[in-house]
Amino acid sequence: LFGLNIERLRQICGQRCANILQIAVTSWKSVGSLL
């Protein structure tokens, strides 16, 4: 799910935007696993 969204965002808003989003998703998953 997130993989497809990140690939699409990479095409739309570029590599930098996709990297920021991927970091945010990774952080959210880490926090979710801690909770």
- pLDDT averaged over consecutive 10-residue blocks of the chain (35 residues)? 69 83 88 81
CB 6 within 8 A of CB 25: yes
Q: Determine the pLDDT at residue 3.
A: 61
pTM flag (> 0.95): no
Q: Determine the pLDDT at residue 2.
A: 56
User: How far is the C-alpha of 10 from the C-alpha of 24, rounded, in Å?
Assistant: 14
Q: Determine the pLDDT at residue 31.
A: 85
